[in-house]
Amino acid sequence: MRLRYKIIASTLCAAFLCSLLAVWVYPRFKKIEKRGPAPASIAAILPGDVNATAGSIEMAFNNWLEFDRPGVTGNYKNKFPYGSQWSRFFLFRRDDPQHPLFPKDEEILLDRGADSFVERYTRIPSELRTRDLYLYEPSGDYYWDSEYFYNGQPAKFRCSFLIHLEPAGESRTKVEIFEYQPEIWVGEYVGLSAHAVLPATLDDIRSVEETTADREAALAMIQNAKSSPSQDRSR
């Protein structure tokens, strides 16, 4: 009788371990594909000096410096309609000591994950990056469809944007867009959590390479802001 119980217990234990192993390795076999070109420079030369260009960008996007003013929080008028992807983003200035959220080069290199292209940003001389801007979605929970696909369906994607502004001759500015911490959400997996003793179901979030479409969309917003007569009149 004892032998029979031992056999049953061993069988159940083996079945449990096999199931756990199958669940554990499943994420490695998820089909993830990128339907877009390899990362390359996304840039444009725009009219106006660096300060004027930075000013038009700050007027086009939501600005955290304006949002965080005394008496404004809760009454801030979003510059984009409800539901727009850009309505969730806020600009942060590299030279703003009051809101030092702009990532330092060490952070960029440490937290870049699978994105090797962003290293190119850190190699730009620091004196040419003094007016750069950081376009950031502060909730950390907002994802959208982009160039990545998971099991044939669009994978949820998110990133932040580094907007580099550099003089390009007399009264012209080169604007180049980089992504920071691009990642995708591809379902869930069973793993160990720092807050649980037993295995738990966790979000399967993966670092990925930069996209082209999202950087082009950000650059297009900036180009439209520069060409808008209303923007020019308000400066």
* pLDDT tens digit sequence for 161-213: 999 999 998 899 999 999 999 999 999 787 666 555 557 778 899 999 999 99
Residues recorded for the chain = 235
pLDDT at 17 (0 to 100) = 43
Q: What is the mean pLDDT of residues 64-86?
A: 86
In angstroms, rounded to a whole number, what is the distance separating the alpha carbons of residues 160 and 196? 30
Between 26 and 126, the higher pLDDT residue: 126
In the predicted model, is pLDDT for residue 156 greater than 70?
yes
Between 28 and 15, the higher pLDDT residue: 28
In the predicted model, is pLDDT for residue 13 greater than 50?
no
In the predicted model, is pLDDT for residue 90 greater than 80?
yes
90: left (phi over 0), alpha (psi -120 to 50) or beta: beta
